[in-house]
Amino acid sequence: MKLVHQINLAFALSLILVLSVTAVVIHYVLMDHFIGTQRKDMQSIGAELTAKLETAAAQSIPIESTPLAVSGGFASAQVAEVGVIIQDNQGNVVSTIPVTPAAQFMGSQAILPDGVASFSSAAGSGQFLTEVTAVPQGTMTLITPISKIKAIEQALMARLMLVFGVGGVIMVILSLFITKRLIKPLMLLREELRKVKERQFSEVERVSASGEIGVVAESVYEMAGELERYNHVQRQFFQNASHELKSPLMSISGYAEGIRDGVFEGEEIRKGLDIIMSESSRMKNIVTEMTLLAKLDSEDGIFKATAVNLKELVEEAIERVNPVLVRKGLFVHPSYGDNESLMVYADRDKLLQALLNIVSNGARHASKHIYIQAGIDKDRVMLTVSDDGEGISEELIPYLFHRFVKGKNGESGLGLAIARAIVERCGGLITAGNRKEGGAVISLGFPPYRKTTVA
What pLDDT digit, counting tens, does each position of 31-50 carry? Answer: 888 888 888 888 888 888 88
- The reported pLDDT for the residue numbered 386 is 92
Please report which confidence band the pLDDT of residue 443 belongs to, taking 50, 70 and 90 as the band edges. Answer: very high
pLDDT at 79: 56
Res 108: pLDDT: 39
Tell how many helices (H) and how many strands (E) occur in the chain: 8, 11
Query: Which residue, among 110, 103, 50, 56, has the nearest Cα to 75 in the 3D structure?
Result: 103
pTM of the predicted protein model: 0.48
Residue 307 predicted with pLDDT over 60: yes
Quote the CA–CA distance of 324 and 359 in Å, as a whole number: 10
Task: State residue 237's pLDDT score.
Answer: 67
Beta bridge partners of 432: 442
Q: Are 205 and 192 in contact (CB under 8 A)?
A: yes
Lowest mean pLDDT among 77-86, 118-127, 179-188: 118-127
Given a cut of 60, is residue 389 above it in pLDDT? yes
**Which band of pLDDT confidence, cut at 50, 70 and 90, is reported for residue 113?**
very low
The CB-side HSE value for 65 (13 A sphere, CA atoms) comes to 7
pLDDT on residue 70: 63
Higher pLDDT, 196 or 209: 196
Query: 371: pLDDT confidence band, cut at 50, 70 and 90?
Result: very high
User: Distance of CA 191 to CAs 195, 238, 425, Å?
Assistant: 7, 31, 35
Q: What is the mean pLDDT of the chain?
A: 79
CA distance 420 to 402: 9
**Cα 30 to Cα 158: distance, rounded to the nearest angstrom:** 12
- What number is the average pLDDT over the span 193-210? 83
Model pLDDT, residue 112: 46
In a 3-state reduction of DSSP, which class is residue 92? coil
Which residues in 90-237 belong to E strands, given as ranges? 93-98, 128-135, 138-145
Provide mean pLDDT across the span 364-371. 89
pLDDT of 276 higher than 60: yes
Predicted pLDDT at 444: 92
Does the pLDDT value for residue 74 go beyond 80?
no
Task: Residue 315: count other Cβ atoms within 10 Å of its Cβ.
Answer: 14
Q: Percent of the chain beyond pLDDT 70?
A: 81
Average pLDDT for residues 267-273, to the nearest whole number? Answer: 84
pLDDT of residue 104: 41
State the sign of the Cα–Cα–Cα–Cα dihedral 257, 262, 265, 270: positive
Strands (DSSP E) along 108-266, which ranges? Answer: 128-135, 138-145
Predicted local confidence at residue 455, as pLDDT: 44
pLDDT higher than 70, residue 107 = no
Task: Report the pLDDT averaged over residues 339-365.
Answer: 85
Least confident of 88-92, 188-192, 197-201: 88-92
Contacts of 293 (CB under 8 A, 6+ apart): 403, 414, 417, 418, 421
Residues 417-440 have pLDDT tens digits of: 888 888 888 888 999 999 888 889
Categorize the per-residue pLDDT at 105 as very low, low, confident or very high, splitting at 50, 70 and 90. very low
Mean pLDDT within 58-66: 77
Instruction: Count how many residues are written for the chain.
Output: 455
Residue 76, pLDDT score? 46
Average pLDDT over residues 99-120: 44
Asked if 344 and 449 count as a contact pair (C-beta separation under 8 A), the reply is: yes
According to the model, what pLDDT value does residue 103 have?
A: 40
Question: Mean pLDDT: which of 159-168, 289-298, 325-334, 395-404 is highest?
Answer: 325-334
